[in-house]
Amino acid sequence: MQSQGNCRRIVVLLVGMLILAVVCGGLILLLVGDDLMDFARTGLSRFSISLREDDLARPFGTDENPIRFTVNSGDTPRIIADNLLNNSLIADADLFVEYARASQLDTQFEAGTFFLNQTQTIPDIAQRLTDSRSSFIPFVIIEGWRLEEVADVIDSNPLFGFSGNEFLSVVGPGATIDPAFAQRIGMPQGASLEGFLYPDTYQLPPDITPQELANTLTQRFFEQVGTQLASDAEAEGLSLYEVVTLASIVEREAIHADEDAIVASVYRNRLDDGMKLDADPTVQYGLNGERGSWWPNITRADYTNVVSNYNTYLSTGLPPGPIANPGLSAIRAAAYPEESEFFYFRAACTGSGYHNFARTFEEHVANEC
């Protein structure tokens, strides 16, 4: 009887220990189960990709052209992998997911727009998707470009999320312009932003919109030109819009910046004397790209045959507005021209890009090559 009691006590004790073990195990699993599962999955992923190192090192292709790729807020590694596959950036979505988990990058992916290409490997792409701040659009505007040339560059750059025409819709004639901006520069109603898209080198955010680009370029204009120039021009009876209009002609005429101020003096002298400006670039602008180029070669016949209110061979005074986007040197030359008695200039016969200047028409003729 005593041995039977001992057996029962041992059984009860074992059952109790088993129940305690189950309870403790359950508590442990409850507390760290997810971590254990993650640890196990990560370990399996590392083992899996260790067998596919060659695939990880092999890019999808050889095309280096950038592709816009967007990670939306809430996208899982699987969604990102499938989108990379659909954009021909990777060849194996499962391998991408496994690599992201094994390298613990799967929790570091950021929402944003990225510029990727086919020559990048899965590790390259996965690392790239962890930092959206490093994405930017390099963008350059050259002095003397007109609006359409800026739009052409936008169309030629696959990084932009909009077209050149969409940009022209917010900067071209008839676009809605901030009234405060228009008043500040003396812009006529219905005019475009021609002349105020400041030529410079920019690093633009990848999600920039046409309006934001226009704001960036015009803001840079004011940063570079400052406020004193506008005040000095106003004291001479010129609005900033008129200064930039003249500067745009100087920009297209003067090849070398050290001639900007003297070229500007010729035009300011003509304006003061009531003469026509007779500026070839205004004739080119009036052609509006009809000859397959925004700045085509012109003939003497074009001086009278190109009917445009921009053609300064047909009308006196400044054209209705800027014909290009000038740089700071030309803008300052238009506001602060060199003092001279010159009314004429023509290209020097040396082919240097410099000009010969003349006080009279007779001297001007004598300078002909």
Each domain of the chain, given as residue ranges in start order, spans: 56-134, 137-225, 228-366
Tell me, what's the pLDDT at 50? 74
Tell me, what's the pLDDT at 210? 98
Please state, in angstroms and rounded to a whole number, the distance separating the CA atoms of residues 353 and 330. Answer: 16
- State the pLDDT confidence band at 135, using cuts at 50, 70 and 90: confident
> Do residues 61 and 84 touch, judged by C-beta distance below 8 A?
no
pLDDT in tens, 139-152: 999 999 999 999 99
pTM of the prediction? 0.78
Say what the alpha-carbon torsion angle 231, 232, 238, 241 is, to the nearest 10 degrees.
-60
Average pLDDT over the chain reads 89
Instruction: Tell me which of 46 and 351 has the higher pLDDT.
Output: 351
pLDDT in tens, 176-212: 999 999 999 999 999 999 999 999 999 999 999 999 9
Query: CATH for 56-134?
Result: 3.30.1490.480
- State the pLDDT confidence band at 53, using cuts at 50, 70 and 90: confident
Question: Residue 98 pLDDT > 70, yes or no?
Answer: yes
